[in-house]
Amino acid sequence: MAVLPIRITGDPVLHSPAAVVTEFGPELRTLVENMFETMDAAPGVGLAGPQVGEPLRLFVYGWTDDDDVLHRGVAINPVLWISPASVDELDEDEESEGCLSVPGERFPLRRSQRAILEAVDLEGKPFEVRADGWLARIFQHEFDHLDGVLYVDRLTHPFGKQAQKAIRKNSWGAPGLSWLPGEDHLED
């Protein structure tokens, strides 16, 4: 297993739609193992293929809820169904999220409270996860990656501007930038 470099915003692979997974062989298994290791090393609660330079429709996730229940898995070729999002005022404390491809930054973003994830596993077997709250947020965030969308692309005023400023300040937003969990401590 290996920790993979994580691409930083500006790299074209993060801003293009990913391709459907068609090969369910040992290479896919190794990629997924490495993605779990990379996510855990970062540390993060989700990681999508494009973030490690693989333009494929898959993501891994791993998050422990308030009841100490671990939600962990890999979603390949996912479909995501989401409930309508609330239009209440944003709560900056409760609704701020981050992204390993915009490391060390967090901004508030409204997400749907509930989501249903349909995907296949490493064997190509279909499964479904009904999520609410933070897990639903993780699924929405990771699913967006597969369409070339980062959460900073979705931010509303004034947070979109703040994010662009942070990206400029870090000299990101150009192709070819990455960081290595365990070596570059950008998220821990």
Q: Which residues bind Zn ion (CB under 5 A)?
A: 99
> Closest CB to Zn ion among 76 and 99?
99
Residue number with the shortest CB distance to Zn ion? Answer: 99
Encoded tokens for 132: 């609410």
> Closest CB to Zn ion among 15 and 24?
15
- Note if 142 is an active site residue: yes
Phi, psi angles (nearest 5°) of residue 186: -95, -15
Catalytic entry in 33, 89, 142, 187? 142
CB of residue 47 vs Zn ion: minimum separation in angstroms?
Answer: 8
CB of residue 79 vs Zn ion: minimum separation in angstroms?
Answer: 19
> Closest CB to Zn ion among 24 and 133?
133
Catalytic residues: 142
